Amino acid sequence: MQLPKDIIIHCVSCREGNDLPLPSYGTSHSACVDLRACLLYENPFSKTPDVSGVKYFSREGPSGSEARAVQRNDTMGGTQPAVGHPASIDIAPRARLLVPTGFKFKIVRPEGFDGRISLRIHSRSSVALKSGLVVASEGIIDEDYGEEVFLNLRNTTDGSLTVSHGDRLAQMHVCLEPNIVMQSVSFAEWNGDRVGGFGSTGKA
């Protein structure tokens, strides 16, 4: 079937104080829309203000070790920031964390399309090159996923990296695919021609 020219994505803002624009193309010929960090103070009266929705992970997995990301105790003119005020966080060297985008996305299925639809999230190549901050693994948002979308970020450098509210950190596109149909066949029916396993073709 012919692919549709447009696919509609319904966007629901799901964080109080979220002032971010809807994800959009950076240029008239961009293939992906940009996703931003939604970093807002939730409990500004603690010693280290809580940044809403951020989930921290160390190099060894979830923990409170020194490898975890560190929230920055930003202030407004020497006073504590208000709830919903834009925040920044420092990502420790080699640490990983989930950063909220502030949005839920719902794909509106094109009429007549019977295959699979998903949203795919990737690193922004310019951010990865200039700062070393990457999406740790490709994000796949299934059509029936109904929660807020997070960015799985990793600091690949040996120094701390600062992420601020509104930073464009990742990019997203729609993926249309046929249905996968798995069939059980006997060994005698197997048509595989290649001999050798993982890495058997070499580098050259």
194 found inside a domain:
no
203 found inside a domain:
no
6 found inside a domain:
no
188 found inside a domain:
no
Assign 3-class secondary structure to the chain. CCCCCCCCEEEEECCCCCCCCCCCECCCCCCCEEEECCCEEEECCCCCCEECCCEEEECCECCCCCCCCEECCCCECCECCCCCCECEEEECCCCEEEEECCEEEEECCCCCCCCEEEEEEEECHHHHHHHCEEECCCEEEECCCCCCCEEEEEECCCCCEEEECCCEEEEEEEEEECCCCCCCCCHHHCCCCCCCCCCCCCCC
Domains of the chain: total:
1
Tens of pLDDT, residues 110-147: 988 899 999 999 999 999 999 999 999 889 999 999 99
CATH number of domain containing 176: 2.70.40.10
Position with higher pLDDT, 124 vs 94: 124
Which range of residues forms the domain containing residue 63?
A: 12-181
186 found inside a domain:
no
197 found inside a domain:
no
Q: What is the pTM of this model?
A: 0.79
7 found inside a domain:
no
Tens of pLDDT, residues 155-201: 999 888 888 899 999 999 999 999 999 998 887 767 766 666 667 67
Percent of the chain with pLDDT over 90: 45
- Say whether pLDDT at 66 is over 60: no
